[in-house]
Amino acid sequence: MHDIADGSVARLIEEFLTDRATRKPSPHTLAAYRRDLTIVAALTGPDGTTPLPIGRVPISTLSPQVMRRAFARFAAPRATASVHRAWSTWNSFFTFLVAEGVVPGNPMPAVGRPRAPLPRPKPLRGEDTPEELLAAVARERGRQRDPWPERDLAVLALALCAGLRLSELLALRVASVAGRDGERRVDVAGKGGRPRTVPIEAAVDRVLVDYLDSRRRRFGARSVRPDSALLVDRRGAPLRRGGLQYLVESCFRRAGIGDRVPKGARLHALRHTFATRLAEDGASAAEIMRLLGHASLASSQTYIEVTAGQQRAAVRSNRTNQALANVLSGG
């Protein structure tokens, strides 16, 4: 059992971040943890006007009342999403401290938490943009140093036609593509350890077959063993996160659609395009949830709500509706 009275918040934050680092979060995520913990900890003083040096804040002073005051001060100038993220970070921090025997309980359930807004979908902009992207990448360009259109097209097809996340694409094996003709599928290791199966149609299957054939020609038959990574770089090594992001961005540039990719979306814009088109074509929220591997129906429902809003905007812009509005207004 740790000595609660001698445990400074600063030291315990470092222990918590060390524990989190073993789970391999991104540097951005670790920086966000540190920022949320240190900023709120500095607001735990009695008046909140002078930030406290957190090296002098003992963990034993962070009662539910103190944390409520600190979060009220933290929330005042910030957006809901930022407050929700900080609450979750502190909840994880105290859960860690309870497990380590540093504190007897977690005060965060007594601290109000705003409901996190669901992120808005960010599909590619433009009705025919996905088709333009696929067509451009399928054409081998002479100015590329080492063109591999079969591989690039396979990446885009899996994201645009199966809705896979970046991490899911990287986790695919050659054997992940399975099933008989007419019943082909991709077995996906989904987020949060939730496996799922996504059906693929004949066109996607053909793209993958062409890609694997091209890989055999480049690296030999041993390169496409069932347990090999499905997606590899131009040296035959498994693609990594940065390499896959760069590949997708280069596809956007080659297709000339960079201005139609929502800021910060990158590969996720392809997944959102898949889901948005499902909604536009009448898929239910439950179907979208299963295909995308969402943890909750609410995440899937956002695609249907966005589509419904777009449909209403289109109807509103119809010239006949506008003419009727003018008649009613006496114009």
Whether 28 sits among the annotated catalytic residues: the reply is: no
Length of the chain: 331
Q: Provide the β-strand partners of residue 187.
A: 197
Token representation of residue 246:
């760069």
Whether 145 sits among the annotated catalytic residues: the reply is: no
Token representation of residue 199:
């059906």
Phi-psi category of residue 164: left, alpha or beta, with phi > 0 → left and psi -120 to 50 → alpha = beta
Mapped onto helix, strand or coil, the DSSP state of residue 198 is strand
Q: How far apart are CA 269 and CA 260, in angstroms?
A: 10
Whether 33 sits among the annotated catalytic residues: the reply is: no
Those residues with Cβ within 8 angstroms of residue 158's Cβ, 6 or more apart along the chain or in another chain: 164, 169, 172, 186, 204, 208
Q: Which of 34, 113, 165, 260 is catalytic?
A: 165
Q: How far apart are CA 178 and CA 166, in angstroms?
A: 20
The H-or-E segment that residue 187 falls in is strand 185-189
Whether 2 sits among the annotated catalytic residues: the reply is: no
**How many CA atoms lie within 13 Å of 101's alpha carbon, on the beta-carbon side?**
3
Strands 177-178 and 195-199, by their bridges, are: unpaired
Largest CA distance in the chain: 79
Whether 73 sits among the annotated catalytic residues: the reply is: no
Mapped onto helix, strand or coil, the DSSP state of residue 173 is strand
- 275 φ/ψ angles, rounded to the nearest 5 degrees: -70, -40
Q: Which of 73, 254, 268, 272 is catalytic?
A: 268
Q: Which of 122, 215, 271, 272 is catalytic?
A: 271
Q: How far apart are CA 208 and CA 183, in angstroms?
A: 15
Q: How far apart are CA 30 and CA 27, in angstroms?
A: 5
Q: Which of 122, 215, 254, 294 is catalytic?
A: 294
Question: Cα torsion for 124, 127, 133, 139, to the nearest 10°?
Answer: 180
Q: How many CB atoms lie within 10 A of CB 103?
A: 18
Q: Which of 191, 234, 260, 277 is catalytic?
A: 191
Whether 122 sits among the annotated catalytic residues: the reply is: no
Catalytic residues: 165, 191, 268, 271, 294, 303
